[in-house]
Structure 1
């Protein structure tokens, strides 16, 4: 049940997400009125020059589909959608649309850094190590 993403990479992503979302101009909208509204992309649309966002996009773009799925699954695990015993099912559920748009999907969640850290803790890992 080991992760296919290096701990250093995960900690870097957590730090970049925290830095990006801590900026005043980043606004996470309420849930869209209809499922067809792509609010995750709207959140990122006005921040194309942001260093943290670009660095995070590049880091995630270099990952394999399995690694991107694990990143999404780690967030789900950290927010309590799955237990550590359901890890492989969680990763399987993240493969596909979620893993293809992992960066945008993750940044659309305002607590992403905390959820990723909680997911690491569930794996007995920490960025403090």
Structure 2
């Protein structure tokens, strides 16, 4: 990834889990159970908002267009849209730029209740690819 840092990805994963709940064995925790944890977590980001989804939106909306494109490509990778080579990720980034309007990218990202799972899976694929070059 050229623009998006691992730290930002991990922050998105953590916030998404607080918003949508952790997806484990088909059982989804209700977001209301995470209100206190979410409030404490977001103090680190100096973000305020009435709705936890709005907080996720505000955090991602501050990303550059390039970071959002890489985040969406990582989501797609984690969903299994591409598998094979590292070049697949680079091609996904190009597809994101062509298919997702910049003013819709943040909304597109936060509309995915499995966002955290997709990002984790995508990171795992990228890690597997890049570690094979070491």
Is the TM value for this pair above 0.5? yes
Partner of 2:55: 55
Contact 2:19 2:31 in 1 (8 A): no
The unaligned stretches of length 5 or more in structure 1 are: 27-47
Query: Are residue 101 (structure 1) and residue 104 (structure 2) matched?
Result: yes
The unaligned stretches of length 5 or more in structure 2 are: 22-28, 33-48, 129-134
Report the TM-score, using the length of structure 2 for normalisation.
0.64
Query: Are residue 118 (structure 1) and residue 121 (structure 2) matched?
Result: yes
The superposition leaves residues 73-106 of structure 1 with CA deviations (integer Å, 9 ceiling, x where unpaired) of 0000001102333111100111153543233212
Tell which deviates more after alignment, 93-102 or 62-71.
93-102
User: For 1:77 and 1:4, how far apart are their aligned partners in 2?
Assistant: 17
Contact 2:57 2:110 in 1 (8 A): no
* Post-superposition offset of 1:53: 2.4
Partner of 1:24: 30
Structure number with higher helix proportion: 2
Cα distance change of structure 1 residues 124 and 61 upon mapping to structure 2, 3 Å threshold: same
Q: Secondary structure in 1 aligned to 2:127?
A: coil
Matched positions, count: 102
Q: Secondary structure in 1 aligned to 2:3?
A: coil
* Post-superposition offset of 1:56: 2.0
User: For 1:15 and 1:25, how far apart are their aligned partners in 2?
Assistant: 13
Partner of 1:91: 93
